[in-house]
Structure 1
Amino acid sequence: MRLLRHVLLSLPTAAVVALATVGPASAQPVPAQDAGSTTASRALTDDGARIDTHRAAEDVEEYWTPERMRDAIPLTPDDSGAGRSSGTAEQPSGPPGSTPAAPPSGEVRTKITETSVAGKVFFTKPSDGKDYVCSASALNSDSKQMAITAGHCVHEGNGGDWMENWAYVPQYRNGDKPYGTFVAKQLRAFNGWIDDGDLNWDVAMVTTWPQGSDKLVDRTGGNGLSWNYSREQDITINGYPGNKDNGEVQWYCEGRTSDSDGKLALGCDFGGGSSGGPWMRVFDQSSGLGQTNGVMSTIDSAGVNRSSYFGDSVKQMFDDQGSAT
């Protein structure tokens, strides 16, 4: 497998091209306290039915045939429904904090270039009925059932609808699903994203159905969560950019981030399909685990990727969703 390593040099802030569409210039800023609150929704199929039983989850898993997974469209600037950064990025209001990562309960199958903690997300977009693909990662919590991704990979933004048929495939590789498929049970996103498509709040957390008796984090391991850290961090990013190996192989990028108008920035040139992939502090290649300190959100014309900042609001999202089963 080819490797990708990019270390960010000192780059001027460039105009952001989202892995989500820029919305109308007339959008009004959302007050920080409203933008930073969250809303949760039960997961739905594309016919509007709730995924509220194991049988319903199995139906969604069966929907994602190898052909549908292969043909799913990487979410790109023209496809998502996102807005511009219409408010102010969150500033830390307390000391940095982290939650613990967790190894899988069974055999560890980490590779230097890939980790079982990261994978692909597949979903149907309600506004056009087409199938799309993003990236995500497992996040350790009390439930052991949670994944974290970008807001625009669970909700259309700008007052749109929740994505449907949502499913997560850890360490997907050329159609192989070594850890199975984990279907969404409940989705949670920031209101700043849901209402306004504000890229400062492009983060989401998802509770998944177990695979039989196996919960997601028990099967693949799960990262910890970091918040209120400096915007300048040594970071490792994993995901499935559609402009690398057609998105069929997990790629990684590492370097030191910079502050870009309140977001984290790193020049990885990861295109559509990488949205939602984890930005990890203190990544350990031997375990494949780290501390999730961001998720892939945008790319600009210079190939610089950006993530929303993880402050107290992300920690509150984690507290609100992390024990949901």
Structure 2
Amino acid sequence: MRTLLAALAVAASGLVIGSPAQASAPGGTGAVSRPAVIDVSGAEGGTAAQKQQALLDYWTPERVRRATGEGKDGPNGAPAGERVDPRVTAAVEGPYSTAVGKLVFEHADGRPDHCTGTAVNSESEILVLTAAHCLHEGPDGTWTKNVVFIPARHHGDEPFGRFTAWNVATSSLWASGDKPDWEHDYGMVVTNDNAAGQTVVEAAGGYQIVPDARTGEQVSVMGYSGPPYDGEHQEFCADLIEPTVPPLNMWQVECANMTPGSSGSPWLLDYDYATGSGYIGGLNSISDTQGFMASPRFDARAGEFVALMEQIAGARP
């Protein structure tokens, strides 16, 4: 199990997605970002508002439902449906977070897909955290396009509306080098407001990101798992953090129901089942075939990334 997760650091190259654009960071750390791409019929030559509306119209309820992560291959190259742990037999719903949502997008070739995102309770109130591989393929790869965040989506119900992407970014360490750096597999979406003029945190709430999760600490994970699940409700898992073995320097938990589509799901520390409060201490990155999910460690470089994203968010009109 741990041996397999360690091996993924070398073998993983096909999880998902998107070309490094504008770098911002001293000493090779920080963020790589670009304006979000809208590539749908009706968006050509329109104003920003018209392009956003064209994108919202493009993501019909049926298209959102079909974006179930089936286009993604697992780290070992096996189709997503063949990577499901045999212990997973049925969808069991548990606690539900309004700040967690389905992140839909398309690959550069037009294939629909989805991950999971979480609204971040920061000063700007417009940031959504997800896995970097949901936004960009990594070195020499391409960015995803037509990104929309739908918090608390549940079998077609969208209680807080939709939030189109204004800007997308990943850690610069993810977008550089000669292979994907899973230890820095985190990214963010700078969102536009919803149709009611609310920021994502005003509408759905959010969680603060904290560093220094610890071995043995319990995390609660919520995500929009794809096959054999429908990607239309939040799967829930709780487990104790343990380290992966070298050379992979990440955290891991055993969460067999976190299948492709749950990438980017938050690892919530100090989660209160009654109030839904907690803190983000990690996120779903890569998994193995035995039900273990790994997260980057939120270190000082992750803190630099969040700070840079707040600067980028401050430039949104």
Does the pair score TM above 0.5?
A: yes
What amino acid is the match of 2:138?
A: G
Q: Residue 246 of structure 1: SS of its match in structure 2?
A: coil
Q: Is the 8 A contact 1:238 1:277 kept in 2?
A: yes
Q: Residue 56 of structure 1: SS of its match in structure 2?
A: helix
User: Could you tell me which of 183, 207, 210 is aligned with 2:190?
Assistant: 207
Residue number in structure 1 paired with 2:84: none
**Identity of matched residues, %:** 27
- Give me the CA root mean square deviation: 2.8
TM (norm. structure 1) is 0.77
Matches for 1:14-163 after TM superposition, within 5 Å: 14-15=4-5, 22=13, 36-46=29-39, 53-74=48-69, 78=73, 113-126=95-108, 128-163=109-144
User: Could you tell me which of 252, 276, 280 is aligned with 1:265?
Assistant: 252
Distance 1:71 1:58 in 2: 20
Correspondence 1:299 to 2:281? no
Q: Is the 8 A contact 1:279 1:292 kept in 2?
A: yes
User: Could you tell me which of 258, 276, 291 is aligned with 1:288?
Assistant: 276
Q: Is the 8 A contact 1:76 1:272 kept in 2?
A: no
Post-superposition shift, 1:53? 2.1
Post-superposition shift, 1:51? 9.7
Q: How many residues align?
A: 277
Runs of 4+ in 1 over 4 A off after TM superposition: 47-52, 79-82
User: Could you tell me which of 174, 178, 183 is aligned with 1:193?
Assistant: 174
Post-superposition shift, 1:231? 4.4
What amino acid is the match of 2:210?
A: S
Post-superposition shift, 1:75? 6.1
Distance 2:183 2:265 in 1: 16
Q: Deviations over 1:165-190 (max 9, x none)?
A: 00000111112111111111111101
Post-superposition shift, 1:79? 7.2
Post-superposition shift, 1:73? 3.9
Cα 1:52–1:112 shift into 2, 3 Å: farther
Q: Residue 252 of structure 1: SS of its match in structure 2?
A: strand
Residue number in structure 2 paired with 1:241: 225
Residue number in structure 2 paired with 1:91: none
Q: Deviations over 1:273-295 (max 9, x none)?
A: 00001011111222323111111
Q: Residue 175 of structure 2: SS of its match in structure 1?
A: helix
Q: Deviations over 1:154-213 (max 9, x none)?
A: 112222121100000011111211111111111110122223321111100111001132
Cα 1:50–1:187 shift into 2, 3 Å: farther
Cα 1:52–1:39 shift into 2, 3 Å: farther
Q: Is the 8 A contact 1:51 1:185 kept in 2?
A: no
Structure showing the higher helix proportion among its residues: 2
Q: Deviations over 1:124-144 (max 9, x none)?
A: 100x21110110111011111
TM (norm. structure 2) is 0.79
Distance 1:229 1:271 in 2: 23
Post-superposition shift, 1:229? 3.3
243-252 or 146-155: bigger deviation: 243-252
Residue number in structure 1 paired with 2:296: 308
Distance 1:39 1:318 in 2: 12
Q: Residue 245 of structure 1: SS of its match in structure 2?
A: coil
Structure ranking higher on relative contact order (CA contacts 8 Å, 6+ apart): 1
Q: Residue 162 of structure 1: SS of its match in structure 2?
A: coil
User: Could you tell me which of 178, 201, 205 is aligned with 1:217?
Assistant: 201
Distance 2:309 2:54 in 1: 24
Cα 1:77–1:133 shift into 2, 3 Å: closer
Residue number in structure 2 paired with 1:255: 239
What amino acid is the match of 1:204?
A: G
